[in-house]
Copies of this chain bind each other. A is one copy, B any other.
Amino acid sequence: MTVRTFPTTVVGSGTAYPGRPIPTAEVAARLRLDLGWLDHFVGIDARHLAVDPDTGAQTATLTTLGCTAAVEALAEADLRADDVDFLVLATATPDELMPSTANRIADGLGLVGVPTYQVQSGCAGAVAAIEVAGALLATGHRTGIVIAGDVCARHYVPEVRGRDVDPAQLVNHVLFGDGVGALVVTADDRAGLRVRDTRHAVLAAGREPGQIVRWFGAADVDAGPRESPFAEDYKAIEGLVPRMAEDVLDELLDRRGWSRDDVDHLLPPQLSGRMTDAIVRRLGVPAERAVNCVRSTGNCGNALPFIQLDRVRRIARVGARIAVVCVESSMWIAGGIALECVA
């Protein structure tokens, strides 16, 4: 089966982060962790959070961040809300179950009468969102906003001195950050980053999830949660993700007839500074061609590929070839996007 190439060009992008960057030294001091150990085993220097880390009070929502990033992307694309035919949002952490955050953002942007689609996803959500947008453009829509992001506020329990810290949750405080990336995509023949192909495959095949994030309802509050909010198998993630990243890159390049040397900008998975560096080395692409943000943003889940694309869009020369690789460990999803900078 051959899936046709989408007439999708990225003509604008924007990002949004809540509050100030919180240095890892500050997190380490609060949690009484060794900074040298964190730098060696995690490799993240700072992250933004949509909560006050001392009190847990929420300071931003996915809706407000999504609006900010989308407004920037529209301005970069020299378009207005009136030009938008649809909105797609990928997230693991919607502000509410209903209304969808996609609809909250659409309303915040002043969109009326257009359809929205909110994709529930993790690290591979950006690929799913680009595919949905590309398919909508293929059926006659002209221009859409595609947003991806996460906000961990509802799950963020501040760990303060003098209070017991759940050891299993410690690393999450260092790994994850909040942020949103937004793209404007169009079927019009414009200069920008043209999507040449995507790859998106659920590969669990019966394997246990590598990551679980749960939500609680009134019944859980009433009777007490039945389960922990998170479960990760970091051993399985460390073992499988680099190989999956290599496989999906090769598959993407094979289908385009590109070699690894042809890739001008490689956007690798952004699990942690250390994991990302290891994956880039394994892929054999020169480090200077890799576009990384995880050291300064933390792992922002769905947002990362769009944050990376926002950086590439501002530096890519005409003709540059771009490969996005992401892996979602939840059900072992391999994602990839091949793009080319066109005049």
Convert A179-222 into 0s and 1s, putting 1 for each residue whose CB lies closer than 8 angstroms to a CB of B. 00000000000000000000011111110010111111111111
Flag the segment in A111-119, A282-290, A310-318 that touches B. A111-119
| A118 vs B302: C-alpha distance when bound (angstroms) | 14
A212 with B98: CB separation less than 8 A: yes
| A333-B103 CB under 8 A given contacts A213-B97, A225-B221 | yes
- Residue of B6, B99, B206 near A209 (CB, 8 A) is B99
Q: A120-B100, A135-B139, A141-B3 in contact; A112/B217 too (CB < 8 A)? A: no
B-contact 0/1 string along A101-132, CB 8 Å cutoff: 11110110001111111111110000010011
Are B216 and A216 touching (Cβ within 8 A)? yes
Q: How far is the CA of A334 from the CA of B225 in the complex (A)?
A: 36
Q: In the bound complex, how far is the Cα of B6 from the Cα of A179, in angstroms?
A: 35
A331 within 8 A of B: yes
Q: Which of B102, B138, B218, B225 contacts A139 (CB 8 A)?
A: B138
Give the number of times this chain occurs in the complex, counting copies. Answer: 2
Q: Is A30 interfacial (CB 8 A cutoff)?
A: no
Interface string of A1-40 (1 = CB under 8 A from B): 1111010000000000000000000000000000000000
- Identity of the chain B residue whose Cβ is nearest the Cβ of A102 in the assembled complex: B120
Mark out the residues of chain A between 199 and 253 whose CB falls within 8 Å of any chain B CB in the assembled complex. 200-206, 209, 211-225, 229
A112 near B202: Cβ-Cβ < 8 Å = yes
Nearest chain B CB to A52 CB, angstrom units: 11
**Residue A276, interface by CB 8 Å:** no
Query: Is B117 a contact of A218 with CB atoms below 8 Å?
Result: no
Q: Which of B98, B111, B155, B219 makes the CB contact (< 8 A) with A156?
A: B219
The listed residue (B138, B221, B223, B330) touching A220 by CB distance below 8 A is B221
Q: Is the CB of B218 within 8 A of A113?
A: no
Determine if A330 and B99 form an interchain contact, defined as CB atoms under 8 angstroms apart: yes
Task: Let me know if A120 and B97 touch, CB within 8 A.
Answer: yes
Provide the residues of chain B in CB contact with A96, threshold 8 Å.
Answer: 212-215
CA A94 to CA B213, docked complex, whole Å? 11
A134 within 8 A of B: yes
Residue from B116, B120, B204, B333 within 8 A of A202 (CB atoms): B116
Extra pairs beyond A93-B97, A99-B122, A117-B132 (4, CB < 8 Å): A51-B219, A153-B217, A157-B218, A157-B222
Q: Which 10 A-B pairs have the closest CB atoms?
A: A154-B217, A135-B135, A99-B330, A155-B217, A103-B331, A3-B140, A115-B200, A215-B215, A118-B120, A216-B216
